[in-house]
Amino acid sequence: MVAATLLDMKVAGLLPQGELVDAESVAILEARDLLFARLLQYRAFKEVSAWFARCLEREDRRHTRSVRLDDKHRRQVPDLVWTLTPQDFAALAMLALTPKEIPHVGLDHLHAPLVSIREQAAIVVTLLRDRGSLTFRELVAGVTAPGVVVARFLSILELYRHAALSFEQLEPLGELTLRWSAQRWSDENLATLGADYDH
């Protein structure tokens, strides 16, 4: 039946339309094939439902065995001895049911405090004018904040750009020696120092 239906449809698809097979015959073949497919689905569902019915009927005849544990197994289980008092259980319940404190995440590590280039330049100017020359290591001695170290280095570059100091480094990555070289210097020169870093 299935082979005949498929053969008829194959022939209908291969033959030129309008010569040997008309549209009505093709429609009848498609309707018959659809009906046959639905019959196959119905048969499959019927067989599956019968299989479920047999399984349920077989399981209905099974029952659990309700007996006490064998003595050899009972002897291997230790007796349960309570060592906690009701107060201990109350303390455990209080600890478990107490709302946890919401953790606080600080943002101080994200926003470092601002360091003024002008203030650090004023410190550098004061130290160099008093001592004449200093190494950069001596200039930042005792400074723990990384921002201050960076600000002092930037202030040195700004002072060098204004020809207020000179520096010497005998070898790459060697000691950096700073010398005060400005002939005329006043506090008014610090007013515009580091303006490029304000924004």
Q: In which domain, by residue range, is 191 found?
A: 117-197
pTM of the model: 0.42
Give the model's confidence band at 113: pLDDT under 50 very low, under 70 low, under 90 confident, else very high. Answer: low
Please indicate, yes or no, if residue 109 is contained in any of the structural domains: no
In the predicted structure, residue 99 carries a pLDDT above the cut 50: yes
Please indicate, yes or no, if residue 80 is contained in any of the structural domains: no
Crossing angle of helices 117-131 and 146-161, in 10° steps, is 70
Please indicate, yes or no, if residue 47 is contained in any of the structural domains: yes
Phi then psi for 104, rounded to 5 degrees? -105, 125
Please indicate, yes or no, if residue 96 is contained in any of the structural domains: no
Domain boundary among the residues 44, 60, 76 is at: 60
What is the overall mean pLDDT for the chain? 78
The per-residue pLDDT for 194 is 59
Please indicate, yes or no, if residue 181 is contained in any of the structural domains: yes
120-167 pLDDT, tens digit each: 888 888 888 788 788 888 888 888 788 888 888 888 888 888 777 888
Please indicate, yes or no, if residue 170 is contained in any of the structural domains: yes
Give the model's confidence band at 8: pLDDT under 50 very low, under 70 low, under 90 confident, else very high. Answer: low
The per-residue pLDDT for 44 is 92
Q: How many domains does the chain have?
A: 2
Strands 165-169 and 133-135: unpaired
